[in-house]
Amino acid sequence: EAGVTQFPSHSVIEKGQTVTLRCDPISGHDNLYWYRRVMGKEIKFLLHFVKESKQDESGMPNNRFLAERTGGTYSTLKVQPAELEDSGVYFCASSQDRLNYGYTFGSGTRLTVV
């Protein structure tokens, strides 16, 4: 089966611009997660979708970040306006149900804000 796909793999934008990251989960996986790793830090949770609903968005840093999952399929994470501290690798993961303890991660989007 196809894995979790993330677009783009790399993005370099200027401070103040807008960037939209996309994640296509494994088909049939209701649960979709966003995580990110900023340089020198551990991977941190951003939010969790169950189908199209936000189950937990406690990790979203601030209101410059907006995540959507239209129709319960792919998800987008928009950063507007981007700041320097938003640089890092953004990972998306999916799982079939809550009993599936492990996730399948995508390869990530490396975001650089200059």
Partner 1 sequence: TQLLEQSPQFLSIQEGENLTVYCNSSSVFSSLQWYRQEPGEGPVLLVTVVTGGEVKKLKRLTFQFGDARKDSSLHITAAQPGDTGLYLCAGRIMGTSYGKLTFGQGTILTVHP
Binding site for partner 1 (CB under 8 A): 4, 31, 33, 35, 41-45, 48, 50, 55-56, 58-59, 91, 93, 98, 101-108
CB of 10 to partner 1, least distance (A): 10
Give the pair of three-digit tokens for residue 29.
């996986």
Place of tokens 């793999």: 9
In the complex, least distance from residue 90 CB atom to partner 1, rounded to whole angstroms: 10
Output 17 or 30, the one with its CB closest to partner 1. Answer: 30
Confirm if 49 and 56 have CB atoms less than 8 A apart: no
